[in-house]
């Protein structure tokens, strides 16, 4: 008996679902919101609460969840490594080239890469807002124990950081960074 699952992925639909007119800044400078904090500090909660509308979300974990259609038994990123590496950069490229407001989540433990992300966004013409998200460490530990999966910004952050830096490099005329 074959227990292997097959997934059909419409790349254009996966990209388009992350865009709507509310993320267009009009004549204003585009904003990039970087939610930064420890594992299970509440970054995703804050993003959903305050940044669900008006921003293009660039987040490998969210893309993975959407591709998996709720199958929590799949390994990140392996189960969808190829489509993630197609969709993620295309979302970042489109968002930055269209000068849309964007939001992403990172841990921020790699200071040089975090500074590179901020500098790349600024060089591409973004007003960057880094929001530190904190909570009691014991509470974060409890939240992490009870989360539905193990895909935190700790694992996903390096993907979206790279995608955004590369997109900003293209937009600023510098080609790909890296």
Q: Which fold has domain 23-171?
A: Rossmann fold (3.40.50)
- pLDDT given at position 50: 96
Q: What are the φ and ψ backbone dihedral angles of 5, each rounded to 5 degrees?
A: -95, 150
Q: Give 32's strand partners.
A: 102, 128
The ranges assigned to domains in the chain are: 23-171
- pLDDT given at position 143: 86
C-alpha distances (whole Å) from 57 to each of 51, 52, 73 are 9, 8, 24
102: alpha, beta or left? (left if phi > 0; alpha if psi -120 to 50): beta
Q: Write out the two tokens for 68.
A: 């998996």
Looking at the chain, the number of H-run helices and the number of E-run strands are: 7, 4
Low-confidence ranges of the chain (pLDDT < 50): 176-178
- pLDDT given at position 152: 83
């Amino acid at each position: 008996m074959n227990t292997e699952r097959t997934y059909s992925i419409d790349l254009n639909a996966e990209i388009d679902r992350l865009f709507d007119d509310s993320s267009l800044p009009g004549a204003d400078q585009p904003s990039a919101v970087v939610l930064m904090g420890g594992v299970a500090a509440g970054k995703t909660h804050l993003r959903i609460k305050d940044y669900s509308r008006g921003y293009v979300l660039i987040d490998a974990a969210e893309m993975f969840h959407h591709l998996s259609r709720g199958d929590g038994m799949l390994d990140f990123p392996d189960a969808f490594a190829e489509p993630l590496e197609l969709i993620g950069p295309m979302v970042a490229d489109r968002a930055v080239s269209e000068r849309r407001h964007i939001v992403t989540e990172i841990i921020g433990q790699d200071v040089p890469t975090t500074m590179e992300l901020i500098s790349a966004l600024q060089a591409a013409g973004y007003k960057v807002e880094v929001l530190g998200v904190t909570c009691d460490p014991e509470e974060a530990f409890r939240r992490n124990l009870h989360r539905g999966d193990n895909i935190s910004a700790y694992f996903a952050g390096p993907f979206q950081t790279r995608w955004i830096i590369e997109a900003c490099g293209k937009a600023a005329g510098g080609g790909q960074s890296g």
